[in-house]
Amino acid sequence: DYNIYVWDLKTGNLVSQLQGHKDVVNCVTYIESQNYIASGCKDKTINIWSLDDAQCIKTLTGHVEQITKIIHIPGTKFIVSASHDTYLCLWDFQNSKKYLKRFEGHTSWVNCVEWIPNAEFLLSGSADKTIRVWDYEQGSEHLPQHKFEEHEDALAALAVIKNTSLFVSASYDTVSYTHLRAHETPEHLVCRLLLEKK
């Protein structure tokens, strides 16, 4: 029905209904500092919603294919979106309706994105079978800091293990099931930078 529902876990009751997207809503993320929701849609848009009054306060446009994943970078005014258009976009959800940066390099759908805590790095996973590491503040929009190419099929999900140098990737490596792999971020690259930025 293209709507977003807010529920009360204790009572099981529907609290509010967010209406405005014109196609399937693929993903949502909560922005705790503002009590906002950001939603990504098959209609290529991102909506920012206030949970205080269940209203859409802003629509972000710039992707040319459907949105697959959105994350909020904690403690900042930034969200990051992944899309079937092969790009990652960095947005200032408070002050702009246009993306600040567009990270280019994947050659197929970007299915997942995660933030590496305590650093200005993003991880992205794509149907091109690669995982790429991006410096979202100071790095190039066209050249990732590192590329992992171990998987044999499209990436499905990523998860960063806090307080370690590890992250986990899931992929459609076989027809029947998904493989999970743990990676140690390269010491000369990400681990060193994480330590320097603490």
Q: Which tokens sit at 106? A: 């994947």
3-state secondary structure of 179: strand
| Residue 85: CB atoms within 10 Å | 20
Alpha carbons 131 and 108: distance in angstroms, whole number: 12
Give the pLDDT of residue 164.
77
Total residue count of the chain as it appears in this document = 198
Buried b (16+ CB within 10 A) or exposed e, 157-192: ebebeeeebebebbbbbeeeeeeeeeeebeeeebee
The partner residues of 169 in beta bridges, in order of sequence, read: 158, 181
For the chain, list residues with pLDDT below 50.
Answer: 175-180, 186-198
Q: Which residue has the tokens 């190039």?
A: 140
User: pLDDT tens digit string along 85-124?
Assistant: 999 999 999 998 899 999 999 999 999 999 988 778 899 9
**DSSP class of 117:** T
Alpha-helical segments (H) within the chain = 192-197
Cα-Cα-Cα-Cα dihedral sign, residues 7, 37, 55, 25? negative
Alpha carbons 136 and 164: distance in angstroms, whole number: 20
